[in-house]
Structure 1
């Protein structure tokens, strides 16, 4: 990851860059960037990438854009490693991993809220919270 914390010289340029290496079946879980859009370039392998509302497969050379704040993920569906580069329109785009934010919050979100929001029983919610 190259952002303003790692390379102060990019301060005020509104850019950052990350290289992402995926093992076979590796996943970058559902997350969002609250302060920047992302453009992802796949250079090796095959990824399944999506917003919550789409599902294209990426092949080397393909590019995918995730608008600011849109929940998205990547999953290596290939048999070999995959490598991608992501550029973000912010020197510090931030990242919020959805499962961590919901089930790993401190203090925890009320059990009744999560039970109703995800249509799960309380034991399942307790189990998910215990994983974080």
Structure 2
């Protein structure tokens, strides 16, 4: 589970920092400035930024659930791996503008979090 937690944090760094930076290289002077007057983002950059915001909303829940599973000795490795894979697919489909599939992926990742919480609460067996 520790590896999955670290991979989730790596995905956060890629999604929140690296992808937007790479998609905004044509505005390097802005990236090196105080960032007071941001340029208009490209449609792809705007989608990646929205995906990053969505990720920032779900990452804390995942981290809490993963740490609790680790502390309680409950093996949620498969569902945590599935959540991580779905979140990676989510940013890819969002960046590419694939609307329907993106929504299904989001529902799946949210379902993973719900399942993790139910297992930790003892409502569902792992």
Q: What's the TM-score once normalised by structure 2's chain length?
A: 0.23
